A = this chain, B = another copy of it.
Amino acid sequence: MTPATLERSKRWLAQGDLRPTRQRLALAALLVGDGENRHVTAEGLHGAVLATGDRVSLATVYNTLKAFCDAGLMQEVTVDGSRSYFDTRMDDHPHFHFEDSGRLTDAPAGELEIVALPSIPEGYEIAKLDVVIRLRKKA
């Protein structure tokens, strides 16, 4: 891990008032180490961290991802009933979900334009607007 990556990871954890433990730094480095947004599953991230040589248990990956979400550093995205995806980008934005590979990416921002929303039931407000564009390989 480069010093820049370490620095960025520490700052990121500090934003969420989370202590920079070895495991959290290892995960943070993979998530925000290069400043890019990431979309990961717990299992995928676990595999990635093991590949770097660090040892982190899968349960800790789950707990840590949840801690990152609670701290407002990431958000969970629901795209597939069987798996949870975690996104380092925090604003509401549309996603592409590739049915063949299961990969999740941001859809180019600003290109989705919603003009009118259905009127919200009395007493409620919008917590989140999820848009998932499911893609299948063209025949």
Show the binding face of A for B, using Cβ within 8 Å: 76, 78-81, 83-84, 94, 96, 98-99, 107-108, 111-121, 123-138
State the number of copies, please. Answer: 2
Complexed CA–CA distance, A116 and B131 (Å): 13
Q: A124 — nearest CB in chain B belongs to which residue?
A: B135
Given contacts A115-B113, A121-B96, A135-B121, contact A130 B130 (CB under 8 A): yes
Question: Are A134 and B138 closer than 8 Å at their CB atoms?
Answer: no
Complex partner residue of A111 from B118, B130, B135, CB under 8 angstroms: B118
**Chain B residue contacts of A118, Cβ below 8 A:** 94, 96, 107-108, 111-112, 133
**Chain B residue contacts of A131, Cβ below 8 A:** 129-131
